[in-house]
């Protein structure tokens, strides 16, 4: 075969066989994951809930999604229209105000989200003193008693129901749960991912270089992890106003340590593997060896850890909120809901809602975690 023929032959073979997009290993893992039915369904349910709550503003809000006023299409959910537009005089429109509502209805139409409360909206028309029972426990007359026109009032619709009652500030519990779920999951996810990045890098450096690097960092981690985190948060929250990112920062300072151990052990074990030596013999740089050859090994251990760390982060945030050291007052938080449940034992819907939401969220995550662990089990993938 001549050189040119060989070239074309090579070219032909090359084009015929392209690379599959998902490696067989990952295909096998996905199959293992699917085989765990509980985890598989948990993943879908969790994703559904998470995506829904990501768009919480479109589900529970005190502003209409869309409105048509005098031929103009308005998007109140996105844009702050001053009240002057509708004949009022405040800088921000309160769409729940019956006067504004009548004005818009008279000159167009309004599309409300299914729940007409945001997490901070105070319901001024609750039938009894706050905390009020879920609306479906009242008769129609009771429910509409506080509206100006009683049963006939256009405001006394199903959109203004408090499906899970209100808390002791007359805010809608369901709206707060939706927003609280979102903030808990987001906090957990950001904290977990950030600590994974830091923890995995630290563990990788320790395990790969070993020796003095390992020794010094290991001692540092021992001292670091001996600092009592709760005290520190108490002290810092006395100085700084507690908020999402400050809490995240403080907890991140300590949570990355959880990953170091596994990753370091995995790197120590794998750095003398023959294929790592083979890569060194090819002249591959340390950084590439770490990321290409060693990290996948360590990621298996890390990934199986992730859901449990995620759960831990959420629980920590909730307990801080419960103690009143967490998110600022007024923020939608499940911990705060639990605290209200504890304070208002006569209003069981508060405690029950908080408990059910948390346990469903944490259980779903644990089930997903179990399925992930199964999927990455090397005994199941390499067979």
Partner 1 sequence: MPLTRARRSGELVKENAPLLSVRDLSVAFSQGDQRTTAVDRISFDIARGETVALVGESGSGKSVTALSVLKLLQYPAASHPTGQILFKGADLLAMDGRELRKVRGNDITMIFQEPMTSLNPLHSIEDQIGEILKLHGGMRDAQARERTLELLREVGIREPEKRLSAYPHQLSGGQRQRVMIAMALANRPQLLIADEPTTALDVTVQAQILKLLRELKVTHGMSMLFITHDLGIVRRIADRVCVMTRGKIVEEGPTTEIFGDPQHEYTRHLLAAEPKGTPPPANATAKTVMSGKDVRVWFPIKEGFFRKTVGHVRAVDGIDVTVKAGQTLGVVGESGSGKTTLGLALARMISSEGQIEFDGRPIDQLSFKEMRPLRRELQIVFQDPFGSLSPRMSVSEIIQEGLSIHAPELSAAERDARVVDVLGEVGLDPSTRHRYPHEFSGGQRQRIAIARAMVLKPRFVMLDEPTSALDMSVQAQVVDLLRDLQKKHDLAYLFISHDLKVVRALANEVVVMRNGEVVEHGTAEQIFDNPQTDYTKALIAAAFKIEAPADSDVSE
| Interface with partner 1 (CB under 8 A) | 6, 10-11, 13-14, 16-20, 23-25, 273-275, 277-285, 292-293, 296-297, 382-383
H-type helices in 154-282, by residue range?
173-209, 211-224, 229-239, 244-255, 257-270, 274-281
Closest to partner 1 by CB, 157 vs 285, is 285
| Residue 103 Cα to chain centre, angstroms | 39
Residue among 13 and 106 whose Cβ is closer to partner 1? 13
Per 3-state DSSP, the chain is made up of helix, strand and coil in percentages (nearest 5) of 65, 5, 30
Of the candidates 162, 83, 82, which has an alpha carbon nearest to the alpha carbon of residue 124? 162
Minimum CB distance to partner 1, residue 278 (Å)? 5
Q: Which is nearer to partner 1, 19 or 346 (CB)?
A: 19
35/128 with CB nearer partner 1:
35
Q: How far apart are the C-alpha atoms of 298 and 200, rounded to whole Å? A: 8
Residue 293 Cβ vs partner 1, minimum distance, rounded to whole Å? 6
Minimum distance, C-beta of residue 299 to partner 1, in the bound complex (Å) = 10
Nearer to partner 1, 109 or 275 (CB): 275
Instruction: State the Cα–Cα distance between residues 181 and 250, nearest whole angstrom.
Output: 21
Q: Kindly state the smallest distance separating residue 315's Cβ from partner 1, in Å.
A: 33
Q: Answer for the pair 106, 68: CB distance below 8 angstroms, yes or no.
A: no
CA distances from 206 to 42, 252, 270 (A): 36, 19, 13
| Closest to partner 1 by CB, 152 or 274 | 274
Helices first, then strands: H and E counts in the chain: 17, 3
Q: Which residues pair with 67 in a beta bridge?
A: 74, 110
**Tell me, what DSSP letter sits at residue 154?**
T
Burial zone of 372 (CB within 10 Å; 0-12 exposed, 13-18 middle, 19+ buried):
buried
Closest CA to 43 of 305, 370, 368, 373: 368
In the complex, the smallest distance separating the C-beta of residue 35 from partner 1, rounded to whole angstroms, is 9
- Closer CB to partner 1, residue 216 or residue 227? 216
Identify each DSSP E strand in the chain by its residue range.
Answer: 66-69, 72-74, 108-111
Nearest to partner 1 of 232, 284 (CB atom): 284
Q: How far is the CB of 311 from partner 1 (least distance, A)?
A: 28
Max CA distance (Å), the chain: 95
Angle, CA of 149, 63 and 138, to the nearest 5°: 45
Query: Which residue lies nearer to partner 1 by CB, 31 or 342?
Result: 31
Shortest CB 16 distance to partner 1, Å: 6
Indicate the residue among 126 and 294 with the shorter CB distance to partner 1: 294
Q: Residue with structure tokens 């006023």?
A: 69
CB of 19 to partner 1, least distance (A): 5
C-alpha to C-alpha distances, 83 to 103, 221, 320, nearest whole angstrom: 11, 56, 38
Is residue 187 within 8 A of residue 180, CB to CB? The reply is no
CB of 214 to partner 1, least distance (A): 15
In angstroms, what is the minimal distance from the CB of 304 to partner 1?
16
């Amino acid at each position: 075969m001549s050189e040119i023929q060989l070239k074309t032959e090579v070219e032909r073979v090359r084009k015929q066989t392209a690379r599959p997009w998902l490696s067989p290993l990952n295909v096998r893992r996905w199959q293992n994951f699917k085989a765990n039915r509980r985890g598989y369904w948990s993943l879908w349910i969790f994703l559904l809930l998470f995506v829904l709550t990501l768009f919480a503003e479109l589900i529970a809000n005190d502003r209409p999604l869309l409105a048509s006023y005098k031929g103009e299409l308005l998007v109140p959910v996105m844009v702050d229209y001053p009240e002057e537009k509708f004949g009022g005089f405040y800088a921000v429109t309160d769409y729940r105000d019956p006067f504004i509502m009548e004005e818009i209805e008279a000159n167009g139409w309004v599309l409300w989200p299914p729940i007409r409360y945001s997490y901070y909206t105070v319901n001024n028309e609750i039938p009894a003193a706050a905390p009020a029972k879920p609306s479906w426990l009242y008769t129609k007359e009771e429910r509409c008693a506080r509206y100006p026109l009683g049963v006939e009032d256009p405001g006394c619709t199903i959109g203004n129901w408090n499906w899970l009652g209100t808390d002791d500030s007359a805010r809608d519990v369901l709206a707060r749960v939706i927003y609280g779920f979102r903030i808990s999951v987001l906090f957990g996810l950001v904290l977990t991912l950030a600590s994974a990045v830091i923890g995995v890098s630290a563990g990788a450096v320790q395990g790969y270089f070993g020796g003095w690097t390992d020794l010094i960092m290991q001692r540092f981690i021992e001292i670091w992890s001996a600092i009592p985190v709760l005290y520190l948060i108490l002290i810092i929250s006395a100085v700084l106003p507690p908020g999402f990112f400050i809490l995240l920062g403080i907890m991140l300072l300590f949570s990355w340590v959880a990953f170091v151990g596994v990753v370091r052990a995995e790197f120590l074990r794998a750095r003398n593997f023959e294929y790592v030596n083979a890569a060194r013999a090819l002249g591959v740089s340390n950084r590439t060896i770490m990321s290409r050859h060693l990290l996948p090994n360590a990621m298996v251990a890390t990934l199986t850890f992730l859901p449990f760390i995620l759960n831990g982060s959420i629980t920590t945030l909730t307990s801080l909120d419960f103690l009143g050291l967490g998110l600022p007052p007024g923020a939608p938080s499940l911990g705060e809901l639990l605290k209200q449940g504890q304070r208002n034992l006569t209003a069981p819907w508060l405690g029950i809602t908080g408990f059910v939401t948390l346990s469903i969220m944490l259980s779903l995550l644990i089930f997903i975690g179990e399925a992930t662990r199964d999927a990455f089990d090397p005994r199941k993938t390499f067979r």
